[in-house]
Every structure is written in structure tokens, then in C-alpha cells.
Chain A
Amino acid sequence: MTVAVALLCVVALLSLAVAALAIGRSPAATPIVYGGCIAVSSVALLSGLSQLLGGAAPASIALPLGLPWIGAHFRIDALSAFFLIVVDLGAAGASLYALGYGRHEQAPQRVLPFYPAFLAGMNLVVLADDAFSFLVSWEFMSLSSWALVMAHHRVGDNARAGYVYLVMASFGTLMLLLAFGLLAGPDGGYAFADIRAAHPSAVLAALAFCLTLLGAGSKAGLVPLHVWLPLAHPAAPSHVSALMSGVMTKVAVYGFVRIVFDLLGAPSWWWSMVVLALAGISSVLGVLHALMQSDLKRLLAYSTVENIGIIFVGLGLSLAFETHGMAWAAALAFTAAMLHVFNHSLFKSLLFFGAGAVLTATGERNMERLGGLIQRMPQTAFAFLVGCAAISALPPLNGFASEWLTFQAILLSPQLPSWGLKFLVPAVGALLALSAALAAACFVRAFGISFLGRARSAAAKMAHEVDRWSLTAMSCCAALCLAAGIVPGLFIDALAPAVQGLIGTRMPTQVNVDWLSIVPIAESRSSYNGLLVFLFMVISGTLAAFAIHRLASDRLRRAPAWDCGYPDASPVTQYSASGFAQPIRRVFGTAAFGAREQVEMPAPGEQRPARLTVTLHDPIWDALYAPIAAGIMLAAERLNRLQFLTIRQFLSLVFAALVILLLVLALWP
């Protein structure tokens, strides 16, 4: 029943896409398409909620579409329902935001047809129950998002971003294709039920795991396959960036979880170590790169890489615990990862909405030309502040709840007997703590330079508040962030069926705990109560304010800022974004990405200004991608000679191929 409803929603989205092709240029198209998307996403969201919370058994449907001997299987179980909720909540939020944001779109006919198609693709991936429909939906999702990335292809670097995105997406799909091919085996049992029942040999399972990690990891943004993310995510329109960062990466996580946790069976001893190592590196490298960016949307894209690292740390720990039979610890780690999936989709969408609002209001994405926006755009600033506080894992917001659970999972790890894990897990814990602290630094910088201080350009001085659709979308996300932080127990209990379905056990029921705390294992070990912390802070803050205003003084007077005796009105003397990051660049940057600073001082008497040049380069790009690209170019050039053969030479090629095939046929035993 719920499957049918979800599939009907997908059909509705596809028909919206087709309709948008027809009416794309008319001014009424924007509200119709986005309004339709909100409605359809809400229906799908409700069906997902009913499946997850209602506790019904998994339902499946087989449709006679696609390949005749496979058909198209679709299934909704607890895990699919959870990810359906994540996808459709994000989609509804983005569509609501786009009702206002989309009005400023210069070429709506390039965006409107592909947006519902993108949503349809993501929903289909989560519902697919056989390899063929999974891969078709995955590719459909990639292609429609590529079309959205190329919507403004004449602007700046977007064409190159689209090209890199296309190459990496194709690579990812190829990896997944090979993985499914290996798992389906020579009999060709492509349905997930068949794959689940087959027990592949250790070698085959290991190969399939590596291919899945490469395929799903590249779409999610794990280092070293993350290079397309900071190029492609900022290039798309802001609501699409929010969907790509907040939701599409989670669909990639779904792909990884579905294949590795569900279809592959029992994990080997080294799988968790690979995942943990890559995840730890992703989280630190992602946030270090984010600290170096001046473009607000690129900063958010790199921060997505960091949060995907955090999610995969939870997944890696869960794999480790499962390998050694500690099911309850695996449930804790998996719950932490899933909670972070939900939380990240919320606050990353919120942050991208804010960046889009800033872009609409000022026309600038570069933080070095912003500033003072808190006075001009107060509601946007407040929502963005909530998003920054949430992503920096500050209590009592939701980022802290999922990070706390991840730390609790790490604290259970000494019970793992493997030596490799005994050394890897403390290192990953340190990397996770380091990335959390650096993320706070990054978002102090992002909010402080963009919204606080004085305006650094005329555009920032003339900014105005955005329309109420965008503000509503941002406020809803912010409210959900606060709710998930105050009562995380409710969300953990809602997740439990998904955890149970994959791991076998689940965390203890949280709703019954006193005062709505969350307790991972048992009361004496650790507990956290978001609601009480929030109430404490609110009460003590208001009490202090009230007492001081009544008993002491509440007078206030405005005066110029302290200038140490050098009066200047130029806002250029404020801290810039790169200046703010300079200490961190100096401490971490030389090791992580060869940051070099160069100062050219003019000779005494010259009039020209001194110049400070900062060069950064991505070592992964230079070490991994540049040689591969160079090698491919070389091979392509060599093979290019095939284009200029004579007719006789072409005929001899065909003849040689035919003879070789006949030989093989003759000699095959």
C-alpha cells in the first residue's frame, strides 16, 4: 500500500517534469512546479512516516517494466522508509524555499523540468528492490542533477564543474554496476531478494565491498573521491545545492548501507578498518579545506565532505562491532550514523538556503565582499546562526546529539579484540574531535565575516531581506534542528525499526527514560538530556538578564567603536575571511595542502601596495587525478591515430578481429 503511494508520487513528479517542459517559459510555471513538488513530497513523506512509525511489515511490488526477464521490483522496509523521509523532507523544504528563490531565476526553463525529475530519481533509488531499477534510478538522479548543475553553464567555472561531475558520476555508476554484476553472479539473479539469499565467497564479497565503497563513496563525497563535490554543488542554483549536499549524499549513504549491511552478509575483519580510515581522513580534510574557502557555497560543500566523514565513522564502527558479534554496540553506532544523516540533511539545507538568500539579496557569494548583513537581513541571519550553531555541535541543538552518540560508540570500542582496530579507533576518535573543533572555527568564520561587522562592499550595504517563502523554509528547518536537539530520544526511537531491520537489535527505548534523556546503554554509564540543558540555559540567562536589569542598570548609549587612536571609516580594515583563517592555515595548512604565503613588499618610495599571495593546492588532485587525467589524455592521443587510417587498413582491422574471434572459438576447451 505504502509502496504504491510512494510510486504514484514518483509518477506525479515525472509528470510535473514533463509539464514543466511544456510551460517552462511562462511566469506561472515556477509556482506551479514547485507547489506541485511540495504537495507530492509531503504525500511521500507521510507514506514514509506511516511505514516507519506504523511498524508494518516490508511491502513490495513487482512491475512489468524494464527488462523482461527482471521486471522492476520496488520495496519499502524500515530503512527505505527512513531514507524516504529524509529525501522528501529535504525536497519539501527546498521546494518551499524555491517558491520564493525561483522567482529570481534567469532561465527557468533550464531548471524547472529537471528539478522534479531529480526528486523522482532520488525517491526511486530509495524504493528500488533490484539491481537494474536501482542503477537506472541512480543514473537518472545523477543525470538530472547534472542538468541542474549546467543550468548556468556560462557563469564562471560551471562548465568545468559539470564536466568533472559527469565523469565522477559515471565512474560511480560503473563501480556500482560491476559490484551488482559480481553479486548477481553468472545466473543473473538481479533482484535484491536473490542477492540477499546468495552467499558469495570471501573474495567476491571483498571485491563487491571495494567497488561499492568506490561507487557510493564517490557520490557521497569520501576522500579521495570528493573532488567533484566542491565544484558541482556550488554551481547549481541554491535550492538544488541544498538538495545535492543535504539529500543526494544521503541517498549515496543509503546505497552503501543497503549493499554492505543488507546484501553482502557477514563483513570481513578488514572492511571496518578501511571505512574508518577513509572516514577519519575525510572529516579532517573536508573541514580544513572549508576553512580556506572564501566562497560561501564552496565552504558549505567542503563541510558536507566533513559530515559525510562523521557519518561513515559511525558506519565503520557499526561494521567493526558487527564483525566481532557485539550487536548492541553495532546498533548504537548505526543509530548515531543515521541520526547524523537526518540532522545533517536538516542543517545543511538550512545553511544552503541562507547562502542562497545572501546571493539573492547581494549578488555575492564571496565572503570577502559581504559583512554587516545581520542588520539588513535579520531573520535570515538568525536562521543561519541556528544552522551554524547546529553544525558546530553546540548543545542543545541536534548536531551535538548525534556527535555525542558517536563518541559513546567510540568509548565502547576497547572491547573489540582486533589489534588493528585498537590503534585505529583512538586515532579516528582524535580526528573526529579535531574535525568538530575545526568545524566550529569554520562556522564562526562563515557567520562572522558574512553577517557581522561592517559591510565590505556596496552590494552588502544595499542588501534587503528575502521573501517570506524562503524565510518560512529556513525557519522550519531551524525549528526542526532545535526540536531534534531537545528531544533526540523521540527521533532515536523513530529510527529504531530501521536499525533493527539491519543489525538485529536496537538501542533501548528512549521515550520511557525519565525527563526524556537519552541513555545509550544503562543509566550509570552515560546519559544526556537536551531538554534540561536547554531549559537550564534559558532559565539562567533570563534570570540573569531580569535580575541585572531590575537591580543594577539597564541604560545604554551608542558611541563610535574603539579605534586605538587611529580613526578610520574604511571597512577594509576589518578582518577578512582569509585573514581570520590565517593562524589555522599556518598551523595545519602547510602539512595538509602545502599552503604558502608570499609577500611582495614595495621598495621604499614606491607607490604600489604590498601584495600578499596565498597559494594552496590540493595534494589529492595532484597525486591522484592529475596523473590519471594525463595518462588518459596520452592514451587518447595515441589512439587518435586510428581515425586516420585508409579504407584498406580499416578492413584489415575488421578482418583481424573476425579471425581472432574464430580462433578463440576453435581453441576454447
Chain B
Amino acid sequence: MRGLTFDVAHLLAGTLVLVSFLELYQDRLSALLNMFALHAFVLALSVAWQAYAQHAPHLFVTAAIALVFKAIIIPVALHRIIMRLGIHREIEKVVGVGPAMLLGMGLVALSMVVMLRVTTEADPLAREDLAFALSVVLLGLLMMVTRRNAVSQVVGFMSLENGLVLAATGAKGMPLVVEISVAFSILIALIVIGIFLFRIRERFDSVDLQALDRFRGERR
């Protein structure tokens, strides 16, 4: 019994890392948003499994929040935004897909080394889940760093947050209050970002960050 729980939890955590890699691989914005919806869906499944394995029913609520907000509402909203802004095109990349994948591999290796060496006395299930969660966080950061499109930065930020949720549920301690507050803050942040995207697009006709960089004051 424990063996199956172990394996399914790891399988779902590993699938989350895999979907993070798939997000790095995407060429076009709408495909990226679909990947992000998948990311949130896998997170919801993972949290639900943890709720079942740890006999912690409040985590089911977390899973439901992840599913409804992050897998359905936010991707649909972002789809609408990019349709309205007319930026449903290719994602401008700083680093190509190949080198980004290699860097991602290096980051996964790094998080494995760090987590598995630092937590030698902890429960094996939690240790490896934490290693995967750190990988997801680092991959989300990599996404934000290597993509110039503002919407892809939003997606990277959301994936990073998904990684944090995975870590928190894996480490067996996430009161519902914290989760609700985190979820609402994410929602607010998204609304703010959406508003800013509209304004930026109106003024500059583009959301390419490199183009926007020209308008910063105080050049070096």
C-alpha cells in the first residue's frame, strides 16, 4: 500500500516537472497557456493525492482552488487578454529551446543534489517531493528569465507558485487560511498585471520587454 502511494505521488510530482519542461519548449503563446492549464491540473491532482495519502481533507480544498482558479479561470482569462491585445504570436526568446532545456536539466540536477543532501533524516517521500518542487520553482524562474514576452513571464511566475504549493503540501503542513490568502493574492496580482498589460499595449503598441526597455529613464 505504501509502495503505491509513494509511486503515484512521485509520478505526479515528476509529471509536474515534465510539464514545466514542456512549457519551456513551447513556441507560441496559446500553446504555452494550454501547457500552463495542464500544469495547474497536474498540481491539483498531486495535491488531491497528497490529501488522500496524508488523510488531510483540507488539502482537497487546496486542490479544488488550484483546479478552478489556476487550471480554468486564469488560463481562460489570459486567453481572452491575448486575443484582445492581438499578441497571440510567437514567444520572443532570449535563449533558444535547446540551451534552455540544457539549463533546465542542470537546474533539476542542482535541486536534486541540494535537497537530497540537506534532508538526509527526513521522510523519503517528502524529500523527493521537495526535490521535485524545488525543480519546478527553478524552472519557473528560468522561464521568467529567458523569455521576453510579458505574458510568458506571468506564466513563469504562476508555475513558480505552483512549485511552492507542491512543496508546502509535500512537507505536510499547509493550513487552509494560508492557502486562501495566497490564492487571493495571486488573483489580485493577476488583475493588476492584466490592467498594466492593457495600458502598456495601449501606449506602446507592444508588450515586448526589450522594446519597452528603451523608454526607461536614467540610462546607464
Query: CB-CB contacts of B120-162 with A at 8 A, as 1s and 0s?
Result: 0000000000000000000000000000000000000000000
Query: CB-CB contacts of A575-617 with B at 8 A, as 1s and 0s?
Result: 0000000000001000100000000000000000000000000
CB-CB contacts below 8 Å: B68-113 with A: 98-99, 109, 113
Q: Are B99 and A591 in contact (CB under 8 A)?
A: yes
B117 interfacial by beta-carbon distance below 8 Å:
yes
Q: Are B99 and A419 in contact (CB under 8 A)?
A: no
Q: How big is chain B's contact interface, by range?
A: under 10
Cβ–Cβ < 8 Å partners of B117 in chain A? 419
Cβ–Cβ < 8 Å partners of A591 in chain B? 98-99
A423 interfacial by beta-carbon distance below 8 Å:
yes
- The CA-CA distance from A419 to B117 in the complex, in Å, is 9
Cβ–Cβ < 8 Å partners of A587 in chain B? 98
- The CA-CA distance from A423 to B117 in the complex, in Å, is 13
CB closest chain-B residue, reference A420: B113
Cβ–Cβ < 8 Å partners of B98 in chain A? 587, 591
Cβ–Cβ < 8 Å partners of B99 in chain A? 591
Query: CB-CB contacts of B8-43 with A at 8 A, as 1s and 0s?
Result: 000000000000000000000000000000000000
Cβ–Cβ < 8 Å partners of B109 in chain A? 423
- The CA-CA distance from A217 to B42 in the complex, in Å, is 49
CB distance from A558 to the nearest CB of B (A): 45
Chain B interface, DSSP helix/strand/loop, else mixed: helix
Cβ–Cβ < 8 Å partners of A423 in chain B? 109, 113
CB distance from A588 to the nearest CB of B (A): 9
- The CA-CA distance from A591 to B95 in the complex, in Å, is 11
Query: CB-CB contacts of B153-190 with A at 8 A, as 1s and 0s?
Result: 00000000000000000000000000000000000000
- The CA-CA distance from A419 to B118 in the complex, in Å, is 13
Cβ–Cβ < 8 Å partners of B113 in chain A? 419, 423
- The CA-CA distance from A587 to B99 in the complex, in Å, is 11
- The CA-CA distance from A591 to B97 in the complex, in Å, is 12
CB distance from B96 to the nearest CB of A (A): 9
CB-CB contacts below 8 Å: A184-220 with B: none
CB-CB contacts below 8 Å: A227-262 with B: none
CB distance from B94 to the nearest CB of A (A): 15
- The CA-CA distance from A419 to B109 in the complex, in Å, is 11
CB distance from A269 to the nearest CB of B (A): 16
CB closest chain-B residue, reference A588: B98
- The CA-CA distance from A587 to B101 in the complex, in Å, is 14
Query: CB-CB contacts of A406-437 with B at 8 A, as 1s and 0s?
Result: 00000000000001000100000000000000
CB distance from A183 to the nearest CB of B (A): 35
- The CA-CA distance from A591 to B99 in the complex, in Å, is 9
CB closest chain-B residue, reference A423: B109
- The CA-CA distance from A591 to B113 in the complex, in Å, is 27
Cβ–Cβ < 8 Å partners of A419 in chain B? 113, 117
- The CA-CA distance from A591 to B117 in the complex, in Å, is 33
CB distance from A591 to the nearest CB of B (A): 7
CB closest chain-B residue, reference A424: B109
Query: CB-CB contacts of A25-47 with B at 8 A, as 1s and 0s?
Result: 00000000000000000000000
CB closest chain-A residue, reference B105: A427
CB closest chain-A residue, reference B102: A591
Taking beta carbons and an 8 Å cutoff, which residues of A are in contact with B?
A: 419, 423, 587, 591
Can you report 7 A-B residue pairs in the complex whose CB atoms are below 8 A from each other? Answer: A419-B113, A419-B117, A423-B109, A423-B113, A587-B98, A591-B98, A591-B99
Taking beta carbons and an 8 Å cutoff, which residues of B are in contact with A?
A: 98-99, 109, 113, 117
Q: Top 3 closest A-B pairs, CB basis? A: A423-B109, A419-B113, A419-B117
